[in-house]
Amino acid sequence: MPRALSRTWSRGRHLAARVLDASLEATIVASFSRVGAVLRRGTQDWPVVPSMEGRTVLVTGASSGIGRESALALARAGADLWITGRDEGRLEELAGRMRSQGTTVHTAALDVTDGALLDDLARRVSENSAGLFGIVHSAGALTHEYATSAQGVEMTVATHVLAPFRLTWRLAPLLRAARQATIVTVASGGMYTERFDLSRLEMTAGDYHGVKAYARAKRAQVLLAHEWSRRWARDGVRSYVMHPGWTDTPGLAASLPTFHRLGPLLRRVDEGADTAVWLASGAAGEAGTTTGIWLDRRPRGEYYLPWTRPRCSSRADGEDLWRWCERRSGFDASGARTP
């Protein structure tokens, strides 16, 4: 094919892929379901994850679902791993599988809502690694029953907001030492239904509603992820927040059994994890670090519904959330300086 014709053909294909992508995005259902994953992958450039030889990544929630799949994909790309989860048996089974393929893996069976255990994990990681190339925050659950952590924080907020905040705070010196590090937060499309409102973030036993609590915590994760980029970009730390669409995992089956009946419309777990892995590899560059939520390797808008937009600005919300996290983590009282 003559060069000019080939260029025109390639531009046309690229444009058609962009139009298809935008149409999927507009329909939401197609975008979040397996349809979006398959069509985007089939029509857009989808490079393999670059080599991660010599890079250490920590994955929370690696004992199941998206975290597990992300850890496996990162290991295949050559990364060394720290993997965490509550279920020690499933964690060790995964570690054994990766070790048999030559991966260096450390495990930590813990509940991320226990601050002391997170601090201990951060200490172990610091003692064993000179730098940390990435963190994937995948630990999470939608729970219909009200519960609180050992520190008395409502469990959804403790798991999705305070745990990533604390762990990342403790590991910030290691991320900086890596000079080029990535933080990936696995949020949820569920967050599109809620506006961020700090006064309604932590629900009480009286008003608890699992789906709302989850959506609010996931909305807060978006703000927190952007705060990390704002605060640490100059130190080479990039933070991305993504959502996996609707992915067939044990967690989805347990928390939303009716929704799980979508069956073949749900994404396969590798499709749900793909963007988290892509971002964790550092392949994405600077776009989508201080705004946007990623799906299928592209940053997408943060709002579908007008009433979910911030009252003042998302920057101000992010700063309020940060201070709240410091207070709720006890960092302000202990005089700990922001890393």
Residues 314 and 125: their CA atoms lie apart, in Å, by: 32
Binding mask 82-111 for ligand NAP (x = CB under 6 A): ---xxx--x--------------------x
Stretch touching ligand NAP by CB under 6 A, among 19-27, 50-58, 64-72, 329-337: 64-72
Considering beta carbons, is residue 257 or 335 the nearer one to ligand NAP? 257
Which residue of 74, 139, 172, 213 would you call a contact of ligand NAP, by CB under 6 A? 139
Q: Is 247 in the site for ligand NAP (CB under 6 A)?
A: yes
Binder of ligand NAP out of 31, 64, 314, 329 (CB under 6 A): 64
Compute the distance between CA of residue 220 and CA of residue 321 in angstroms, rounded to an integer.
Answer: 8
Phi, psi of 139 (to 5 degrees): -60, 130
Binding of residue 244 to ligand NAP (CB under 6 A): yes
Q: In 52-196, which ranges are continuous DSSP H helix?
A: 65-76, 88-99, 115-128, 155-157, 163-177
Please report, for the chain, how many H helices and E strands are present, in that order: 15, 8
Please, what is the minimum distance in Å from the beta carbon of residue 304 to ligand NAP?
A: 15
Strand, helix or coil for residue 77: coil
Q: Which stretch binds ligand NAP (CB under 6 A): 49-57, 138-146, 198-206, 317-325?
A: 138-146
State the minimum distance, in angstroms, from the CB of residue 226 to ligand NAP: 17
17: tokens are 């892929």
The set of residues, in sequence order, having a beta carbon less than 8 Å from that of 2 and lying 6+ positions away, is none
- Minimal distance in Å, beta carbon 275 to ligand NAP? 11
109 CB neighbour count, 10 Å cutoff: 16
Kind and range of the H or E run holding 14: helix 3-27
Report the interface residues with ligand NAP, using CB under 6 A: 61, 63-67, 85-87, 90, 111-113, 138-141, 159, 186, 188, 243-244, 246-247, 249-252
